Amino acid sequence: MYPVMLQIANKPVVVVGGGDVAERKVVGLLEANAAVTVVSPAVTKALKELAENGKIHWKEKLFSADDIDGAFLVIAATNDRHVNETVAQVAKPHQLINIVDDPERSNFHVPSVVRRGKLTISVSTNGASPTLAKQIRNEIANIYDEEYERYVDFLLACRRYILQHIDDASIRRSIFQTIATESFRKNGTWEEQLRELIARYKKQP
Ligand SMILES: C[C@@]1(CC(=O)O)C2=NC(=C\c3[nH]c(c(CCC(=O)O)c3CC(=O)O)Cc3[nH]c(c(CC(=O)O)c3CCC(=O)O)/C=C3\N/C(=C\2)[C@@H](CCC(=O)O)[C@]3(C)CC(=O)O)/[C@H]1CCC(=O)O
Ligand SMILES: NC(=O)c1ccc[n+]([C@@H]2O[C@H](COP(=O)([O-])OP(=O)(O)OC[C@H]3O[C@@H](n4cnc5c(N)ncnc54)[C@H](O)[C@@H]3O)[C@@H](O)[C@H]2O)c1
């Protein structure tokens, strides 16, 4: 398995099935702004609301092969093993496909995720224990708290500024390393520390 971050904003994604597992996957997909279609004769209350509010498209029907035509990514999440297997069989080799009850037939798994703005931390056990993945995720979530969202935004703003204003690559690298340290993050105002850091480098011959 090769870990990646996928750009799926506005891309067509089909989730087959409308139960609790489908709902969890849909919520994650919407966080990434995918264009989600759910194919299922019945859906959870939350999925129904999402459909009513225009956040997803709901095809109220049993799965048929043409439902996944043109889909960039497909999730088979029914409670019927045979239906999930059919979805796996009709998917084209280039389609990304996740079969929720068959990790080996899937060409990707959904990891357990901590999101802090631009910071994403994913945990996967390759299907060995989703429960362990979730536990580790919760431990990590306590370490990397909400402040990281603002901190990572600050790092990006610095990065852009420094790439534009500092020509020497080794000085750039030193600054990038310093601003990513724990002592920098914990020591007072970031903007002030950065100003001092840049001034110090500018004074050097
Ligand atoms: C991480 C997470 C992401 C998400 O779904 O969003 C996710 N499962 C989560 C939770 C969870 N899933 C299950 C339980 C019940 C307890 C248990 O079984 O342990 C719990 C715990 C709970 O709900 O608390 C049952 C289960 N899961 C799979 C099977 C089929 C099988 O194993 O064959 C069965 C049924 C087994 C049966 O029939 O009994 C398979 C998969 N589940 C995966 C992902 C992929 C591997 C990820 C990895 O290993 O790292 C993979 C391979 C495919 C996929 O779905 O992508 C999400 C945590 C979200 C969070 O962080 O909150
Ligand atoms: N991967 C995971 O994270 C994970 C976690 C728990 C369970 N599971 C597995 O996922 C399966 C689904 O779990 P659930 O709790 O969402 O089940 P559920 O019973 O709540 O929902 C099943 C859904 O599938 C739909 N469905 C059934 N036949 C269909 C068809 N032919 N076409 C389209 N839709 C159809 C039903 O209408 C229903 O909405 C379980 O059977 C279990 O094996 C996977």
pLDDT at 14: 98
Residue 205 has pLDDT above 60, yes or no: no
Structural domain boundaries in the chain:
1-110, 147-203
Distance from Cα 106 to the centre of ligand 1, integer Å? 13
Q: Is the CB of 58 under 6 A from ligand 2?
A: no
Is residue 203 very low, low, confident or very high in pLDDT (cuts 50, 70, 90)?
Answer: confident
Mean pLDDT, rounded, of the chain: 95
Say which ligand is closest to the CA of 130: 1
Distance from Cα 130 to the centre of ligand 1, integer Å? 4
pLDDT in tens, 165-186: 998 999 999 999 999 999 999 9
Q: Is the CB of 17 under 6 A from ligand 2?
A: yes
The residue whose CB lies within 8 Å of the most ligand 2 atoms, and thus the one to mutate among 16, 21, 125, is 21
Residue 200 has pLDDT above 90, yes or no: no
pLDDT in tens, 15-58: 999 999 999 999 999 999 999 999 999 999 999 999 999 999 99
Which amino acid residue places its CA nearest to atom 39 of ligand 1?
101
pLDDT in tens, 147-158: 999 999 999 999
Q: Is the CB of 127 under 6 A from ligand 2?
A: no
Please state which architecture CATH assigns to domain 1-110.
3-Layer(aba) Sandwich (3.40)
pLDDT in tens, 55-109: 999 999 999 999 999 999 999 999 999 999 999 999 999 999 999 999 999 999 9
Write a three-state SS string for the chain. CCCCCCCCCCCEEEEECCCHHHHHHHHHHHHCCCEEEEECCCCCHHHHHHHHCCCCEEECCCCCHHHHCCCCEEEECCCCHHHHHHHHHHCCCCCEEEECCCHHHCCCCCCEEEEECCEEEEECCCCCCHHHHHHHHHHHHHHCCCHHHHHHHHHHHHHHHHHHHCCCHHHHHHHHHHHCCHHHHHCCCHHHHHHHHHHHHHHCC
Query: Is the Cβ–Cβ distance between 109 and 127 less than 8 Å?
Result: yes
Is residue 188 very low, low, confident or very high in pLDDT (cuts 50, 70, 90)?
Answer: confident
To the question of pTM greater than 0.90 for the whole model, the response is yes
What number is the average pLDDT over the span 195-205?
81
Work out which ligand 1 atom sits closest to the CA atom of 21: 5
